[in-house]
Amino acid sequence: MMKPVSAVLCLLSAVLLSVSVAVPSAVATPQERPRPVIFTTEAEISRAIRRVHDHQQPFYDSWLKTKAAADAALAKTYIPEQSYNHETYFGIARPQAQDARSLALVARITGDRTYADKAREILRLWARDAIDGDYPGWGSPHQMGLVIGRVVPIFADAYAMLWDELPTAERTLMAQWFGKMAKAIMISRNIFRYETETCDYGVCRYRGEPGTYLGGNYFSNHLSAHNLGLLAIGAALRDREMVAEQLDSPRNDKDLKELINGAIVMPDDLGGGVADGDLYKGDPTYTDGAPLPEPGEIWDRSRTAQGKGLHYTFLHLQLLMLQADIAKNQEGSGRDWFDYVGPRGEHLELPFEIYDDFLMTADPGARTGYYVASALEYNLVTLYELAHREYPANPDIRTVLESFDRAGFTDDHQTFGWTLPLTDGLDDLALADEPYPASGRSSWTFDSDGDFEAVTVRKAQATVADGSLNLTVNQDDPGIVTPDLLGLPTADYGQVEIRMRNRTADTQLVVYFSTDDAPVIDGSRRAAITITANDTDFTSYRIDLRQNPQWTGRIRQLRIDPVQGTSTGTVSIDSVRVIA
């Protein structure tokens, strides 16, 4: 149903009545207490300075990329926006927060005030704009805490690194900003806790009885984002009570302790109910007979039904690790959450022993096959730096880092950018010879029913049966995407051969590709040919990719759009082969 904006505002006002976040009117001087610490410690900055001075690899490459990001930021004009749309806010705020953090780190390493002044400018702009404006993302109140909770810790780390040189007025401005963001996060947290419906941009729907966390989202990544944001704000404000409440407190039923216990899935959880961190009620294990979870999987695995299982498990694991990292950096915070073991054996080390296989094989169908429909992302590779710092004896974690170019394969677009190897990486690892562990795979034949051979399907329903991958076309741009990390040398491979049957009226087949140097598939790296419409039998087609000047180096991944989706019908793909 439609609900007017005034009704949404009433919902916000009602929830605000239960929120109380103190904003300090005075801030301690450096002589009274050390600076606040979020992610980046003084010891890590000192070590980074030595690594840069010594040109120590792979950390020096991490430095060069971090400095390049900071140099680019010096020339940018920053315009904050507390957007009504939570995704728009996130898309604007996150890169600007990362720029502020890169600038702050470069300032601390080089001593160049130019970088510090620019970082402070960004922080002041965002603080003033937020204090004077609406809550960012308030068009979807239950989702605004998700994005604020992921962005504010990045801003807060920049602020903390520069804290010693900030005048009292600037520190107070930051405290007012962070305090307002804490209230916004609490609105979202309380909607999950107490509300029966959610409203997205004026459209509201019933989500479940009060106390059911919007219909069973008891350990959603949203809850970890709330906790992360409030923990970072508490650390930035040096509010020990606020920090303690996010870690282990009877006042917070989704503190870090409970999130680890519930979000890390263990075999004994199944059927145990809410208190035991049971799976989401809509998890395909319950609804479709999908494989049981392995010890250490993440609660958000159920999103695999929408092709997002690995994305959200990786995201939630990162949110948990960031909370443990902030907690470790707080004096007198008590327990080291990296060492914590839950009542059924939950431990932050376990997920890294599960999800490493997906990174190493580039196969979303690895292990039990549960995630076979999920797109695979590589942002998690950088998080293995934190994991290795905490669990240096773990061979699975070590293997991942020794198999990828730690400072060149990918950045952490969620939080740290290119900085994590420089600040947190250990120097006890062998350097990878190649950017990634290449599979060298060049053919897919779909001979076994149900086996997609690590190929993912986009914008179509699909089955593998009778020796073919069969697509039902009902929208534009249907296609398939090969596994990533192929590593095929263009000197040895130049064509793609596709044997298929086209039972649509479309007549164009397009093949896209990415390379080691250009790892994102886009419209500039493609080749197309004409094919037969409404075919009654299979036909083999060869597409010469060498006609595209960007077919150079090594091929990392292919995307094949067998038809363009301008008409409905079916397409059956018997085989795909990359040939000379």
Greater pLDDT, 358 or 269 = 358
Specify the DSSP class assigned to residue 412: B
Phi-psi region of 392 (alpha: psi -120 to 50; beta: other; left: phi over 0): alpha
Confidence label for 373 from pLDDT (cuts 50, 70 and 90): confident
Map out the domains of the chain as residue ranges: 1-16+76-254, 443-579
SS3 322: helix
Alpha-carbon distances, residue 190 vs 116, 135, 142, 253 (angstroms): 37, 15, 9, 11
Confidence label for 336 from pLDDT (cuts 50, 70 and 90): very high
Averaged confidence pLDDT in the chain: 92
Amino acid at 351: P
Specify the DSSP class assigned to residue 394: -
Measured in whole angstroms, the distance separating CA 62 from the mean position of its chain's CA atoms is 20
CA torsion, points 100, 113, 111, 420, in degrees to nearest 10? 10
pTM: predicted TM-score of the whole model, two decimal places: 0.91
- How far apart CA 39 and CA 471 sit, in angstroms, is 46
Question: Considering just the CA atoms, what is the radius of gyration of the chain in Å?
Answer: 25
User: Can you state the angle between helices 221-237 and 240-247, rounded to 10 degrees?
Assistant: 160
pLDDT tens digits, residue range 97-149? 999 999 999 999 999 999 999 999 999 999 999 999 999 999 999 999 999 99
Q: Are 62 and 406 in contact (CB under 8 A)?
A: yes
- How far apart CA 157 and CA 100 sit, in angstroms, is 9
SS (H, E, C) 218-285: CCCHHHHHHHHHHHHHHHHHCCHHHHHHHHCCCCCCCCHHHHHHHHEECHHHCCCCHHHCCCCCCCHH
**Class of residue 15 by CB neighbours under 10 A (exposed 0-12, middle 13-18, buried 19+):** buried
- For domain 443-579, give the fold: Jelly Rolls (2.60.120)
Pull the structure tokens for residue 97. 């927060």
- What is the helix (H) or strand (E) element at residue 191, kind and residue range? helix 168-194
pLDDT tens digits, residue range 250-269? 999 999 999 999 999 998 77
pLDDT above 70 covers what percent of the chain?
Answer: 93
